[in-house]
Amino acid sequence: MRLVRVAVPVPALDALTYSVPDGVADPPVGARVLVPLGNRIITGCVLDSESSAERRAPSARGDNSQLSSPNLQLQTSNSKLQTSNAGIKPIIEVLDGGPFLPTDVLKLATWVSNYYACGIGDAIAAAMPPWALKGVRSRFRTTRVAALTVQGHDSRDLRLGARQREALDLLAGSPDGMDTAELAERGIGAATLRRLASLGLVRLSRRAVERDPFHRGAMMSAVARTPHTLTAEQADAFEQLRELVARQSFQAVLLHGVTGSGKTELYLRLAEEVRRLGRGVLLLVPEIALTPAVAGLFRAAFGQRVAIQHSGLSDGERHDQWQRIRRGEVDVVVGTRSAVFAPLPSIGLIIVDEEHDGSYKQEESPRYHGRDVAVVRARESAALVVLGSATPAMESFQNAQSGRYTLLSLERRVLDRPMAAVRIVDMREEYAAAGPDVTLSATLTEALAERLERREQAIVLLNRRGFATAVFCRQCAATLECPNCSVTLTVHRAARRARCHYCNYSTGIPKTCAHCAGPYLEQTGFGTERIEADIRERFPAARVARVDRDTVRKRGAIAGVLERFAEGELDVLVGTQMIAKGHDFPRVTLVGVISADVGLGLADFRAGERTFQLLTQVAGRAGRGEIPGEAIVQTLYPHHYSIRHACRQDYQSFFAEELAFRTAMRYPPAVALINVIVKARTEQAAMEDAGALAGALRIGGEPYRVLGPAPAPLSRLKGEHRAQFFIKGTHRTSMKNALVTVLASRPEIRRRTIVDVDPMSVL
Ligand code: ADP
Ligand code: ZN
């Protein structure tokens, strides 16, 4: 009996074994197959087959040795085909004649499933384009096309109606045929074409058309690219990068360049270099907001040979772009984290821009970190990986210090532009002087007025959306809470709803307290919607727009707003961290940060790092043009080290102080961390099940520590109770293997368990 192992897109399932019926050829590794599962038929992906396993054995071993990660060994030992044949069902159909996923991508997905301890099906699904596992063979968009047949070309002597003759004349001018929709516009309807087809004069067929995401929202209008003359610092870095990329072997570089130091220019030149070597380039950027601008730049530089892959595209566009990459029609892929799986052949360079950004981490299964997967992919492809940031992640900078990554630094802005001057406003003094309702300090208001007068632009950032963050009853002290989650509802005034930011539950804004029926409801806390309203009220003539997840729900909306801002059609941009990163707006001379400490109060070990990054990045948005910039930071904790170091834009000092804290508290990068969350219907059940797992991990003498369980900070989410515990240690693989073994012995709990390896957030 010939057997194949198949990954199916069902959470927390390992690979399943099926047989290949007689008379059916072995499906290729990476091909999709239809298989029975329970009483369903689903689409899976072939991981390995008996004969292919034998054939590939030597080369597979060779490939593995390139990957120093011990995690692959786990895979090899797991990957033995089931030995007992009882109960094995045959596959129903082979959907692809060759590998749908290229082998290297398949291997990468397998690495992800091992490293992050998730089901192989989840990892494979993450690497697939939309619909690939939905059992549908092709989702290309097609149009109906009419074309002349040979007889049609030779129809001069036939007696035909005027419409029919007109149709033939039109088609005679289009050797490739014409879209029936276009013909209809010219008055030639379906009936005419059908009649001509029945006479054998016209052939009607369907043709695939590509959905092109470049023509709208996905890209800011590309300016023709005039390469800059590199600064001395840039030239120095570029020489080293060029030397590394020419080696065509695995190399990892951390490019630590202050904001405005011209990293993008280096990316473009390096990409050109790699293309000249005949190898592919993958550029990863953080979520949505950045893609349009960067994609535009790369499109301008590389024309048609660029594809984009990100969550802002429609499924159809993503599918078509993926297929273009798979067909080998592009050399450069620009995309967000899932683009790390793009089926780009012979990769020579992977760039992870703003590598510290939290959006590289996927917060659902598979919980992978796009940057870390990028490093693994580069290693497998013998490629150069460049991690770029003005505020590198603690992990990355430590890797640079320990010599695992080569560190390249750009310490100055291009054209000797000064860094923005940063002023701190102590909001405690502001409240004392102007009352507790102040959102814009006098300093910031004054600075905004100056900018508006001088026709310069300003960015105002608050990392919290909505109008008010809570509804509070002054009579009984109750707050308006989500019925499904342990959080308060946020007031969205324009939408007239109070909404949960975790499960999206919403309700009308109440006038009386649901608890005591009192009419004394007060809205407390504030978000971006309120800031926008306050700025409009204070400066009625100013052109203000807001960018956050509420305003950019619609695809393409963000590119529109950013483009208007870039064109100078807006004066003030209010937004969440979406506007903090990456953008290059030369006319912005003021950045205001409201409540810089949002987040510092959170019980998350990365809170200080995140605050430092956000403030440094946002200050980096000011003064990128001719006129020097200024940043005004409002905070209740002016002396917190994150805020102090960010205001001086002093990364090294921040890193040293933060690393001391992480080491003392035994947090990453000093140790490896795994967060385990168990969900259950009651708090007690969640605690008990989490306790059972944690207990089984404490076997005595284990090379790690287990902390907890305790109710998770978000103890209720979407109606489920959650308990969590942590595994800390210096040897990640043994921690994870122990956990995987324990979970395998408790399949019923495993189904309700979230495993987060290297968590970005523990809230
Ligand atoms: P970073 O990504 O490091 O923050 P950018 O790459 O966005 O910085 O560069 C900032 C600005 O400087 C951009 O407008 C870019 O076009 C410009 N720039 C880059 N390199 C040079 C150079 N060598 N000379 C002049 N301008 C440059
Ligand atoms: Zn909720």
Q: Look up the CATH number of the domain holding residue 89.
A: 3.40.1440.60
> Are residues 412 and 430 located together in one domain of the fold?
no
100 and 119 in a common domain: yes
Residue 471: inside a domain: no
Closest CA to 466 of 551, 510, 527, 536: 527
Q: Which atom of ligand 1 is nearest to the CA of 620?
A: 4
Q: Please indicate whether residue 228, judged by its CB atom, sits closer than 6 Å to ligand 1.
A: yes
Ligand 1 near 260 CB (within 6 A): yes
- For residue 367, give the 3-state DSSP assignment: coil
The answer to whether residues 558 and 704 belong to one domain is: no
489 CA from centroid of ligand 2 (Å): 8
The DSSP code sequence of 239-292 is: HHHHHHHHT-S-EEEEEEE-TTS-HHHHHHHHHHHHHHTT-EEEEE-SSGGGHH
pLDDT at res. 66: 33
Nearest-atom number in ligand 1 for the CA of 229 is 23
Compute, in angstroms, the gap from residue 263 CA to the centroid of ligand 1: 7
Q: Is the CB of 261 under 6 A from ligand 1?
A: yes
Query: What is Dmax (Cα atoms) for the chain?
Result: 96
Ligand 1 in reach of 414 Cβ (< 6 A): yes
Within 10 angstroms of residue 502's Cβ, the number of other Cβ atoms is 15
d(CA 123, CA 11): 9
Pick the atom of ligand 1 nearest to 258's CA. 3
- Where among 157, 185, 209 does a domain terminate? 209
> Is the separation of the CB atoms in 630 and 668 below 8 Å?
no
Last residue of one domain, picked from the residues 358, 384, 416: 416
Residues 573, 693, single domain; the answer is no
Split at pLDDT 50, 70, 90, the class of 332 is very high
Pairing between strand 490-492 and 672-680?
Answer: unpaired
Starting from the CA of residue 626, give the closest ligand. Answer: 1
Q: From the CA of 498, how far away is ligand 2's center (Å)?
A: 11
551 CA distance to ligand 1 middle (Å): 29
The answer to whether residues 269 and 338 belong to one domain is: yes
Query: CB count, 10 Å around CB of 690?
Result: 27
Q: For residue 223, name the pLDDT band (cuts at 50, 70, 90).
A: low
Domain end, chosen from 209, 243, 266, is at 209
Listed in sequence order, the residues at least 6 apart from 609 whose beta carbon sits closer than 8 Å to its beta carbon are: 393, 394, 642, 658
Question: Does any domain span residue 181?
Answer: yes
Quote the mean pLDDT of the chain: 87
Residues 695 and 600 occupy one common structural domain: no
- Tell how far the Cα of 617 is from the centroid of ligand 1, in angstroms: 15
Q: What is the pLDDT of residues 423-455, one digit of tens each?
A: 899 999 999 998 888 999 999 999 999 999 999
Residue 279 included in any domain: yes
Residues 294 and 182 in one domain: no
CATH number reported for the structural domain that contains residue 237 in this entry: 3.40.50.300
The residue type of 280 is: G
Q: Does the pLDDT at position 318 exceed 90?
A: no
* First-residue to last-residue Cα distance in the chain: 49
In a domain, 483, yes or no: no
225 domain residue, yes or no: yes
Average pLDDT for 55-82: 37
Residue 264 Cβ inside 6 Å of ligand 1? The answer reads yes
Residues 307-314, mean pLDDT to the nearest whole number: 81
| Domain that includes residue 177, residue range | 141-209
Percent of the chain with pLDDT over 90: 58
Pocket test for ligand 1, best of 264, 417, 588 (most atoms within 8 A of CB): 264
Q: Are 582 and 289 in contact (CB under 8 A)?
A: yes
Q: Clarify whether residues 723 and 578 are in a common domain.
A: no
Asked whether residue 597 falls in the same domain as residue 462, the answer is yes
- pLDDT of amino acid 59: 37
450 CB near ligand 1 (under 6 Å): no
Give yes or no: residues 547 and 434 share one domain.
yes
Relative to the alpha carbon of 585, which ligand is closest?
1
Closest atom of ligand 1 relative to the 264 alpha carbon: 6
pLDDT at 598: 79
Task: Say which ligand is closest to the CA of 503.
Answer: 2
Model confidence, pTM? 0.84
With CA atoms as reference, report the closest residue to 298 among 316, 285, 288.
285
Confidence of residue 582 (pLDDT cuts 50, 70, 90): low
Distance from residue 625's CA to the centre of ligand 1 (Å): 10
Neighbours of ion ligand 2 (CB under 5 A): 482, 484-485, 500, 502-503, 505
In a domain, 511, yes or no: no
Please determine, for residue 170, whether its predicted confidence score (pLDDT) is greater than 50: yes
* Residues counted in the chain: 763
Q: Does 482 map to a domain?
A: no
Q: What is the pLDDT of residues 86-112, one digit of tens each?
A: 689 999 999 998 999 999 999 999 999
The count of structural domains within the chain is 5
Q: 261 CA to middle of ligand 1, Å?
A: 6
Ligand 2 center–CA 721 separation, angstroms: 12
Q: Are residues 684 and 752 in the same domain?
A: yes
Task: Tell me how far apart the alpha carbons of residues 94 and 101 are, in angstroms, rounded to a whole number.
Answer: 14
The answer as to whether 70 is a domain residue is: yes
Q: What is the CATH number of the domain that holds 677?
A: 3.30.70.600
Instruction: Report residue 377 CA to chain centroid gap.
Output: 17
Q: Which residues contact 59 (CB under 8 A, 6 or more apart)?
A: none
Ligand 1 mutation target, pool 238, 283, 355, 414, most atoms within 8 A of CB: 414
Residues 609 and 705 in one domain: no
